[in-house]
């Protein structure tokens, strides 16, 4: 089932999230719905607050972009895909960021809760994270490059942080009116969204 994605301005995106345990009601169903919602948008990561839940859970699938890139490469002979890139598909439950290391690099990020805005964000290259998977098995893994980037973005979501918080003050000022319009639902988007200022009206 495709869930509506909450838009910028909804307080749930800023709320503290809670850990869950294996008795969380219909966890399998939630994980399945989150993947379906993410693929439909489409996106490469989705955090529980983005579907209105203040819990420490997010899903990531960067295999999806690597496949997408391969197709794009075949179709258009684009030569700019990193051939060494191997995507990951994971469910992260109750994650703890152990360490972020390496040289910070800029990458243009977007967010399903902030449609139409893409900006360069600087993040460190390598992360080590501890988390439970969907079967409540505990893992500690190290990721780098684009995989680390997506995990850092989603981890921020469960900490109540959005990528736009990380922009320089001038950039923030420049996009402020765009962000206000998103909260009001004044944005073209191809997937189902919940807009905070419309929700009150209906």
Which residues of this chain interact with Zn ion, rule CB under 5 A? 111
Residues 6+ apart with CB under 8 A from 187: 7, 115, 116, 181
What is the nearest approach in angstroms of Zn ion to the Cβ of residue 137? 26
- For residues 98 and 139, give the distance between their C-alpha atoms in angstroms, rounded to a whole number: 12
What is the nearest approach in angstroms of Zn ion to the Cβ of residue 48? 12
Are the CB atoms for 152 and 102 separated by under 8 Å? no
By C-beta, is 87 or 153 nearer to Zn ion? 153
What is the nearest approach in angstroms of Zn ion to the Cβ of residue 165? 11
Q: How many C-beta atoms lie closer than 10 Å to residue 159's C-beta? A: 13
By C-beta, is 27 or 111 nearer to Zn ion? 111
By C-beta, is 122 or 135 nearer to Zn ion? 122
Residues annotated as part of the active site: 154
Length of the chain: 202
């Amino acid at each position: 089932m495709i869930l509506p994605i909450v838009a910028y301005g909804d307080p749930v995106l800023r709320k503290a999230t809670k850990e869950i345990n294996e008795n969380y009601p219909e966890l399998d169903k939630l994980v399945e719905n989150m993947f379906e919602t993410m693929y439909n948008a489409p996106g490469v990561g989705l955090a529980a607050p983005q579907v209105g839940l203040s819990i420490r859970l997010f899903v990531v699938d960067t295999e999806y972009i690597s496949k997408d890139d391969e197709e794009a490469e075949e179709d258009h002979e684009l030569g700019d895909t990193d051939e060494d890139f191997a995507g990951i598909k994971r469910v992260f439950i109750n994650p703890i960021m152990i360490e972020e290391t390496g040289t910070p690099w800029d990458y243009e990020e977007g967010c399903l809760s902030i449609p139409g805005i893409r900006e360069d964000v600087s993040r460190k290259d390598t992360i080590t994270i501890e988390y439970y998977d969907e079967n409540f098995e505990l893992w500690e893994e190290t990721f780098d490059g684009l995989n680390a980037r997506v995990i850092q973005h989603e981890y921020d979501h469960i900490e109540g942080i959005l990528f736009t918080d990380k922009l320089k003050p001038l950039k923030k000022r420049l996009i402020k009116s765009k962000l206000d319009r998103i909260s009001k639902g004044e944005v073209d988007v191809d997937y189902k969204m919940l807009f905070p200022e419309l929700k009150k009206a209906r």
